[in-house]
Every structure is written in structure tokens, then in C-alpha cells.
Copies of this chain bind each other. A is one copy, B any other.
Amino acid sequence: MITLAVDAMGGDAGLSVTVPGAVSFLKQRTDARLIMVGDDALVREALTAANAPMERIDICHASQVVAMDEPPQLALKNKKDSSMRVAINQVKEGNAQAAVSAGNTGALMATARFVLKTIPGIERPAIAKFLPSADNHMTLMLDLGANVDCSADQLMQFAVIGSELFQALYPEKGRPRIGLLNVGTEEIKGTETIKQAFELLQSSSLNFVGNVEGNAVFSGEVDVVVADGFVGNVVLKTIEGAVKFLGGAIKHEFKASLFTKAAALVAFPALKGFKNKFDPRRFNGAIFLGLRGVVVKSHGGTDATGFAYALEEAYHEARADSLDKIEQGVASQLALLAEKRLESEQAVMADNIE
């Protein structure tokens, strides 16, 4: 049985989205249980109205709600009994294997970091997301905005946690291929930080493919794309914009004339197939990675279908036991890195003595 803690009050629409999303998810996953966290009476009322399978739901009371525009530090300080925080506490206390919230991203990250702490060796958590790529492949991209400035060491850490997550979820695909997002594939490209990260990655035992350009997000040439949070966020928003814009442009072409309008009817199944494939709700669920607990962030403005997908994302991670695997992987990768550093320092010392 997989148990997820749900911030039932979070998101732009709160219970009216989280409850139907939860019900739809439970219908799909019969080996899952949910702890719905929020105002006891309101949550119970919404669940009853939605005919929820109560035998697989616990309600956990929380008296506060973090507002969507509340500054993270204030939420952390003043909202110790918020539905968001209590949901994360469920993970900390071992009652749930993952927490899901559609609340304020900054507050969720600050709270998750404060309550769960980072995995030893990981300085800062990252936000990661699986994106569709060529040949029905999925590419994991991180960081998507948790850290606008990253050191080479941090980029290396993102590569490690990304690689371990990918491997935990898709063990059949072999060692994940890691790419460093850059302005060209040559080793000499990029900023000083990127060049240093390249060296760290190359000396690691990860399956590092090298630098990749922006198109690698879709090409399927790598499994994990590593970037700092500034670049990653801009790229993610660009992709969202591109999908919307190109979708709109196709629609526009089919509305051009009576003939193309008629053609659209005939083409409907194919166009619908395309639309479903890139429905942003299917890619709802950003993973907070590098924490000692699984936390998934749903888009604040999503609907019940989108929220169910975020629960699905958390479910997959919990079922794959991704956290244990990530923690072990990080420990062994970082031990190796420390060893290599010591070796190279000793080599430098030996050179100096000679």
C-alpha cells in the first residue's frame, strides 16, 4: 500500500480541485491510500459530496492555510499548522511516503526544506520535471527554478540526484545518460561555472554524455538535462509557450477556409491525439528533489484531472522507493568525488614537493 499526504486546501481552487482529483486518483490506483490534510469539517464535507472511498482516506486536521501570495518566510514563521506544513509533517513522521500540494511554490519549498532537510551532501534541493521527448521517451530536467544562481558543485549534485531518480523510476533503461545544458556541445563552451561543472561531471562515475544544446530536451539523446534554475525555468516556460503557440497556429490553419474547416472534422482524431499527448495537465507534478522526503508540487491553477496526475507522479516515486535509492546513490557518488578530489590534491602536493 502506498500512502500519500495531500494538502487538501492548497492551490487556486482548494478543495473543489483537490478532492475530485483525489477521488479520480484513488479509482485508478487501488493500492493507494490518501491522508487528506486540511480543515476537518470542510474536507469531510467535500469528500462525502464527492462520494469518496473513505476506507482508503484518512482526514488529518490542519487549522491554517498558506495563501498563494504569502511570502515563504512568513508562511514558515506564522503558519505552523497549515495544511501544507502538516502534509509535509506526515512524510517526516513516516505516516506517508510522499506529500502533494498545489500551494504557493516558494512556501512549499521553504517548508519542505525546513521540515525534511536535504539529503547529506546536497546543498540545495532542485525542482525537476519529466518532459515528453522523441520516440515516447521522457526526459528529466532540473533545476526548474529553485536556485537562480548555482555553483558547479550544485550542478554536479543536481546531476547525481537526477540520475538516481531516473534510474529508480526506469531501471530497465540502464544507466541514465546525463547532459549539461550549454550553448554548444564542445568542451570549451559556456560560462566559467558551466566549464567547471563539465569537469566535475566528466570525472564522476555518472554516465555523462557531455554538453547538450536546448533541443536535447526533446531529442531523447539524454535522459537527464542539468541546468541552473534560471536557465531551466526560462526553458520550461518557453516550452509551455511554444506548445500553446504552435497548437494555436494549427487551429488557426484549420480555420482558414470552409475547406480546411471541413478537413478539421476529418482530421479530428489525429488532432485530438496530438492535443492529448501534449495536454499540460499530463505533465503536472514537479518533483522537489534532494530532500529527505518526496514532495510533489502541482500547478496552482490546475483542475481535478491535472491534480490527479500530480498524485500519480508522487505515487510512482513512492512505489519505486526512489528516496532510498537517491540517498544511497548520492552517498556513493559524493564519496567517490571526495576521493578523486583528495587524489588530485595529493598529486598537486607531490608535484609541488618535486
Contacts and interface: CB of A to CB of B under 8 A. Distances in A.
13 contacts: A133-B245, A213-B234, A213-B241, A214-B234, A214-B236, A219-B245, A227-B234, A246-B246, A250-B270, A250-B274, A253-B271, A256-B273, A267-B267
A260 B269 contact: yes
Nearest to A254: B270
Contacts of A133: 245
A283 interface: no
A347 interface: no
A210 interface: no
A contact face: mostly helix, strand, loop, or mixed = helix
Contacts of A182: 234
Interface residues of A, number: 59
Contacts of A245: 133-134, 218-219
Interface string A220-249: 000000010111011111111111111011
A231 B102 CA distance: 28
A172 interface: no
A216 interface: yes
A243 B217 CA distance: 12
Contacts of A256: 270, 273
Contacts of A230: 183, 190-191, 194, 231
Interface of A: 133-134, 145, 148-149, 181-183, 189-192, 194, 213-219, 227, 229-231, 233-246, 248-250, 253-254, 256, 259-260, 262-264, 266-271, 273-274, 277-278
B267 A183 contact: no
Nearest to A192: B149
Given A267-B263, A269-B260, A214 B233 contact: yes
A183 B234 contact: yes
B218 A242 contact: yes
A278 B183 contact: no
A216 B191 CA distance: 25
A123 to B, nearest CB: 17
Contacts of A214: 233-241
B269 A249 contact: no
Contact of A246 (B242, B264, B273): B242
Contacts of A189: 148
Contact of A239 (B233, B238, B240): B238
Contacts of A215: 237-238, 240-241, 244
